[in-house]
C-alpha cells in the first residue's frame, strides 16, 4: 500500500506511509479500549455512545471514499444508511431476524439503489451532482415516509436485534460493540486497499483531471459507478448496524440533514484520509453529546465552532495534527 514511486500528482498521503499507519492504529487501539474505560468508570452509556460513533464512522468512511478520493460530492448518502436500516426493520417485521438473511439483503438493496441512481447521477458534474444525489435521497426519504405497513412517518420499532445463526449475540452490548468495531476495521482496511490499488489510482486521477484519464483510455464513468456502489453498500452496512443498535428504524435516518452531517463529519476530521472520517465522526458525535449536556441551545456553540474550523483550519482535525507534527510549513493533506 505504499508505492515508493507514486506519481507526482498523487494524494500526498500515500507518499507519507508512516503517518497513515500510526494514526489509524492509535484510533483503533483507542476504540478497542473504550469498553475497558467504560467499565472502569462504570459508565455504561459510553459503550452505546461509541457504538454509535463507530456506526456513523462507517457511513462517514463511505462519504470520504466518494468525496475525498473521487471528488463525487454526494448529498444523499443517508439514503443508503436508511435502506440498510429498513432492510433490517422490514425483514424483522416478517419474522426474519437472522444476520444471514438481513445483512445480505441490506447490502444488496443499498448496492442496487446505488447502481440505479449512480447510473443517472454520474452523468452530471460538480454542483449538479450534489443536487441530483440530494434528489434521490429525498425520493428515498419520501418513499420510506409512505411505507404505511412499516410505520410510515413514525418509523418502525425493531422488536429484537438480529440473531447470528440463531444465537442472540447482538443483545449483549459488549459483543455488539466489538462486532461494530470489527465491521469498521474491515471497511477501513478494504477502503485503504481500494484507494491504494489501481482502481483507486484511476479514481484519484479522474478526481484531478477526468479528461486526462479518459484520454489515457480509462472509462472513468465505470470506475466512478463502481465506487458509488461500493460506498452505497458501506452505507447500507452502517444502516444495518444502526437498526440493530437503536432497535428502531425511521425515515429521519434518510433526511438530507443527516446526509449533510455525514459530510461535515468527514470535513471535520480531514477529507481524503479515511481515518479522518473516523476521527470526524467521533468528534462530531462526542461534541454533540457533550455540548447538549451542557446546554439545551448547544447548537449556538456548535454552529460557530464549525465556522471557525472552516475559516481558520484547513484539512480538518487531521490537518491540525499534521500541521503540528510538521514544524516546517509544508502543505496539509488537503493541498
Partner 1 sequence: MVRARRGSAVLFTCRELLAPTVRRDGQVCDPPRNRLSPRGGGRDATIAAVPMSTTLLVVQVLNGLQLGVLLFLIAAGLTLVFGVMDFINLAHGVQYMLGAYLAVAFYGLTGSFLLALVLALAAALLFGLLLEAAVFRHLYGRDHLDHVIATFGIILFLNSAVKYVWGAAPLSLPVPEALTGSIVLAPGILYPVWRLVIIGSGLAVALLLYVLVSWTRIGMLVRAGATNAEMVSALGVDIRRLFTLVFGFGAMLAGFAGIMIAPILSVEPGMGDTILILAFVVIVIGGIGSIRGAFVAALLIGLVDTLGRSFAVDLLRLVMSSSTARTVGPALASMLIYLLMAVVLYVRPTGLFPAKGR
Where on the chain is the footprint of partner 1 (CB under 8 A)?
Answer: 67, 73, 120, 123-128, 130-132, 134-136, 138-139, 141-143, 145-146, 148, 153, 252, 255-257, 260, 263-264, 267-268, 271, 297-300, 302-307, 309-311
Query: Is there a contact between 277 and 57 (Cβ–Cβ < 8 Å)?
Result: yes
Residue 248 is classified by DSSP as E
Please state, in angstroms and rounded to a whole number, the distance separating the CA atoms of residues 137 and 131.
10
CB of 233 to partner 1, least distance (A): 22
Nearest to partner 1 of 107, 254 (CB atom): 254
β-bridge partners, 151: none
Query: Is there a contact between 315 and 86 (Cβ–Cβ < 8 Å)?
Result: no
Nearest to partner 1 of 51, 259 (CB atom): 259
DSSP 3-state of 163: strand
Cell representation of residue 106 = 441490506
Nearest to partner 1 of 21, 225 (CB atom): 225
Please state, in angstroms and rounded to a whole number, the distance separating the CA atoms of residues 320 and 335.
13
CB of 181 to partner 1, least distance (A): 28
CB within 8 A of 225, min separation 6: which ones?
115, 118, 119, 122
Nearest to partner 1 of 228, 240 (CB atom): 228
β-bridge partners, 156: 249
CB of 305 to partner 1, least distance (A): 7
CB of 267 to partner 1, least distance (A): 5
CB of 152 to partner 1, least distance (A): 9
Nearest to partner 1 of 173, 260 (CB atom): 260
Query: Is there a contact between 81 and 235 (Cβ–Cβ < 8 Å)?
Result: yes
Nearest to partner 1 of 45, 312 (CB atom): 312
Nearest to partner 1 of 58, 263 (CB atom): 263
Please state, in angstroms and rounded to a whole number, the distance separating the CA atoms of residues 97 and 101.
7
CB of 215 to partner 1, least distance (A): 19
CB of 58 to partner 1, least distance (A): 20
Query: What dihedral angle (degrees, nearest 10) is formed by the CA atoms of 187, 241, 46, 192?
Result: 10
Amino acid at each position: 500500500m505504499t508505492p515508493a514511486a507514486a506519481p507526482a500528482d498523487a494524494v500526498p498521503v500515500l507518499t507519507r506511509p508512516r503517518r497513515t499507519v500510526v494514526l489509524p492504529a492509535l484510533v483503533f487501539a483507542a476504540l478497542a479500549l473504550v469498553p475497558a474505560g467504560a467499565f472502569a468508570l462504570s459508565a455504561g452509556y459510553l459503550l452505546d455512545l461509541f457504538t454509535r460513533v463507530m456506526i456513523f464512522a462507517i457511513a462517514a468512511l463511505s462519504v470520504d471514499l466518494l468525496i475525498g478520493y473521487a471528488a463525487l460530492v454526494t448529498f444523499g448518502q443517508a439514503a443508503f444508511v436508511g435502506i440498510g436500516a429498513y432492510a433490517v426493520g422490514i425483514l424483522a417485521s416478517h419474522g426474519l431476524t437472522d444476520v444471514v438473511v438481513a445483512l445480505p439483503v441490506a447490502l444488496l438493496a443499498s448496492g442496487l439503489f446505488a447502481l440505479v441512481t449512480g447510473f443517472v447521477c454520474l452523468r452530471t458534474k460538480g454542483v449538479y451532482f450534489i443536487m441530483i444525489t440530494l434528489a434521490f435521497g429525498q425520493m428515498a426519504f419520501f418513499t420510506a415516509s409512505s411505507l404505511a405497513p412499516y410505520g410510515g412517518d413514525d418509523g418502525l420499532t425493531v422488536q429484537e436485534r438480529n440473531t447470528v445463526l440463531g444465537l442472540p449475540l447482538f443483545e449483549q452490548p459488549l459483543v455488539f460493540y466489538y462486532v461494530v468495531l470489527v465491521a469498521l476495521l474491515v471497511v477501513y482496511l478494504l477502503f485503504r486497499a481500494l484507494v491504494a490499488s489501481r482502481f483507486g489510482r484511476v479514481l484519484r486521477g479522474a478526481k484531478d483531471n477526468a479528461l486526462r484519464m479518459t484520454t489515457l483510455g480509462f472509462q472513468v464513468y465505470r470506475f466512478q459507478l463502481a465506487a458509488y456502489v461500493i460506498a452505497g453498500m458501506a452505507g447500507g452496512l452502517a444502516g444495518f448496524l444502526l437498526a440493530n443498535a437503536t432497535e428502531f428504524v425511521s425515515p429521519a435516518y434518510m433526511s438530507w440533514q443527516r446526509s449533510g452531517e455525514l459530510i461535515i463529519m468527514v470535513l471535520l476530521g480531514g477529507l481524503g484520509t479515511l481515518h479522518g472520517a473516523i476521527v470526524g465522526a467521533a468528534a462530531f458525535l462526542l461534541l454533540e453529546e457533550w455540548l447538549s449536556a451542557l446546554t439545551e441551545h448547544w447548537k449556538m456553540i456548535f454552529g460557530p465552532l464549525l465556522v471557525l474550523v472552516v475559516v481558520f483550519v484547513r484539512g480538518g482535525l487531521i490537518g491540525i495534527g499534521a500541521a503540528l507534527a510538521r514544524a516546517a510549513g509544508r502543505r496539509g493533506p488537503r493541498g
